[in-house]
Amino acid sequence: MPQNIGFQLSRVPRLWRAVIDRRLAPLGLTQTRWITLYHLWRLGDGQPQCDLARAIGVEAPSLVRTLDQLSEQGLIERRGCDQDRRTKRIFLTDEATPLLQQIDAVVSQARAEMLAGLDTDDVAHLARLLSRIEENGLAIQAREAQE
C-alpha cells in the first residue's frame, strides 16, 4: 500500500475546492458561503441548523456566522421550528435561485474536469472505495469515543 495515500486523500478535496473557489470568487462567494448554500440546496429547504452543520462537517456554532452573512445578503431565512422552539430551520430565498444555478454550473464543470479520463465505471468504483474508507473512519471514531 502506498505510504502517501492519506496525504493524497487530504490533498484532492482541497484541490477540488480551490478550483471551485477560484471560479466562484467573481460572484463574491467565499468557500464557506457557497458550500453552505450548495448543501442547503441539495438537502432541501427547512433543514435544521444543526443538521446542515453536520452535513457540511462543521460545528453548529461555526455555521452561525455564515448563516448571518447569507441572511444579510437575502439568500436565506431562518425560521423557528413548530416542534422545538430551540431549533431554527433554514430556507433559501427566491433571490438565491439564480446564484445557486451559477454555483451548480461551476461545480458541474469542475467535476467534469477533475474526473476527466475516468469513465462511468471508474467513477462508480471510486465512489464505492471512498464510501468504504469513510465508513471505516466513522467506525473508528465511534469505537474510540466509547473507549
Strands (E), 7-147: 47-48, 76-80, 88-92
Please tell me whether residue 111 adopts helix, strand or coil conformation: helix
Q: What is the pLDDT of residues 109-135, one digit of tens each?
A: 999 999 999 999 999 999 999 999 999
What pLDDT does residue 101 have? 96
Instruction: Tell me the C-alpha distance between 147 and 68, whole Å.
Output: 38
Find how far residue 81's CA is from the centre of its chain.
23
Question: Rounded mean pLDDT of 94-107?
Answer: 95
Question: Rounded mean pLDDT of 99-118?
Answer: 96
How much is the mean pLDDT over the chain? 92
85 has a pLDDT exceeding 90: no
Give the residue carrying C-alpha cell 474510540.
144
- From 43, 41, 61, select the one nearest 53 (Cα to Cα): 61
54 has a pLDDT exceeding 80: yes
**What residue segments make up the domains of the chain, in order of their start?**
5-116
43 has a pLDDT exceeding 60: yes
What pLDDT does residue 2 have? 67
Longest dimension (CA), the chain: 52
- Secondary-structure class of domain 5-116 per CATH: mainly alpha
**The one-letter amino acid at 21:** D
pTM of the model as a whole: 0.80
